[in-house]
């Protein structure tokens, strides 16, 4: 199916929610471009997210994140996956709300933890107790993710394709 998107669909939610995987599948199902703000930041900086956090600090990363999202939102409508912290800034939320449709991929903490526990690439989880850090981030962030236009729930038995289908349905039936 090839559609013409009226607005960019912005995937938001916690690390491990499946924003990139589901966004990629959704873009393929709809025949529209897929972009990932983390990937764009990494490409422009020519180093990994972990290296950027380590060498330049989180505020530098967040500034690049806002710039990249702002630039991508001005381009052709696409499916845009964002990093888990992108929707926390009020300025980013406003910008996304003004031009795009935000979709919160919601998943419970156990599922998120199962997905991220063996990955060492996420700088925010390089703590003495990453499970506890993930829980703290989750609790602090939930009310902000809840400001997204749409919510789609993940579950352990749902495939990426199923999730992409649920997002499509949510987009089609949104008020
Ligand atoms: C972050 C999530 C990461 C990445 C960075 C910060 C966060 O993206 O942007 O490590 O603040 O939750 P994913 O959500 O794709 O893991």
ipTM over 0.95: yes
Pocket of ligand 1 (CB under 6 A): 15, 19, 38, 49, 83-85, 122-124
> How many alpha carbons fall within 13 Å on the CB side of residue 77?
13
Cβ proximity of 113 and 17 under 8 Å: no
User: In the predicted model, what is the mean pLDDT of residues 139-158?
Assistant: 96
Q: pLDDT of 49-78, one tens digit each? A: 999 999 999 999 999 999 999 999 999 999
Task: Say how many Å lie between the CA of residue 99 and the centre of ligand 1.
Answer: 22
Q: Which domains does the chain have, with CATH numbers?
A: 8-166 (3.40.50.300)
* Ligand 1 nearest-atom number relative to CA 17: 14
């Amino acid at each position: 199916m090839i559609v013409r998107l009226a607005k960019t669909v912005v995937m938001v939610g916690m690390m491990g929610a499946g924003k990139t995987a589901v966004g990629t599948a959704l873009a393929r199902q709809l025949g529209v471009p897929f972009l990932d703000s983390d990937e764009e930041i990494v490409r422009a900086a020519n180093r990994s997210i972990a290296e950027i956090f380590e060498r330049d600090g989180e505020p530098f990363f967040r500034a690049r994140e806002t710039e990249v999202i702002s630039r991508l939102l001005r381009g052709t409508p696409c499916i845009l996956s964002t990093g888990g912290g992108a929707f926390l800034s009020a300025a980013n939320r406003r910008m996304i709300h003004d031009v795009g449709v935000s979709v919160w991929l919601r998943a419970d903490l156990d599922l998120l933890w199962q997905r991220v526990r063996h990955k060492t690439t996420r700088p925010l989880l390089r703590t003495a107790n990453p499970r506890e850090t993930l829980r703290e981030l989750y609790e602090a962030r939930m009310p902000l993710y809840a400001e997204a236009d749409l919510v789609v729930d993940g579950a352990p038995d749902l495939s990426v394709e199923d999730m992409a289908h649920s997002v499509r349905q949510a987009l089609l039936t949104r008020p």
